[in-house]
Amino acid sequence: MIENPGKYFSENILPHSGRMFGVAVAIIGSREDASDAVQTAMLRIWENICAGTVPDNPAAYCLSAVRNICISQYELSKRVTSLDKDVGTISTKSSAEDSLTLSEVIDRMHSLPDKERQAVEMSAFAGSSSEDIAGALSVSTANARQLLSRGRRKLREWFS
């Protein structure tokens, strides 16, 4: 049992809230829902700390907690990343006939295997490091780098 749960929480858990939010946005897609997920994760972590559960690695514990909540929210609501498919076009080349629509990019992203897609989204949208991605996806850091590399390579191949 921890003598001062509040001190432990503010020193070891709260500093990870920014990364937790980034992971949540990458998984859920909505900033509002991501904020709710982080708040729920923080509440559960607080309850666990008060009950005597002290994580060995607070960063990984926080990222795993928010990841699990996001996955639960996703399963309950059957949401997909809320990128608007009707938003204009992204031009990758100089001529209009070679431009890609955002919906084509999104479709390609969703055709990636789940963990590769999540790794690419977390890196691109949330600026997450390999360590953060590893914690959120419950894989090793080397595996997170490999997932990110594979996902990026597939996207490059599709769009080159």
Binning pLDDT at 50, 70 and 90, where does residue 120 land?
A: confident
Please list the residues that pair with 90 across neighbouring strands.
100
Mean pLDDT across 5-11: 90
Mean pLDDT across 86-115: 62
**DSSP strands (E only) in the chain:** 89-90, 100-101
**pLDDT value at position 38?**
92
Q: How many Å apart are CA 105 and CA 90, to the nearest integer?
A: 9
**pLDDT value at position 85?**
40
* Residues 6 or more apart whose Cβ sits within 8 Å of residue 120: 109, 112, 148, 151, 152, 155
Indicate if the pLDDT at residue 83 is higher than 50.
Answer: no
For the chain, percent of residues with pLDDT exceeding 70: 80
Indicate if the pLDDT at residue 15 is higher than 90.
Answer: yes
- Give the Å distances, CA to CA, from 83 to 23, 58, 106: 16, 31, 8
**Mean pLDDT for all residues in the chain:** 79
135 or 73: whose pLDDT is higher?
A: 135
pTM of the shown model:
0.51
How do residues 34-52 score in pLDDT, each as one tens digit? 899 999 999 999 999 998 8
Indicate if the pLDDT at residue 99 is higher than 60.
Answer: no
Mean pLDDT across 119-136: 82
**pLDDT value at position 70?**
85
Q: How many Å apart are CA 102 and CA 92, to the nearest integer?
A: 11
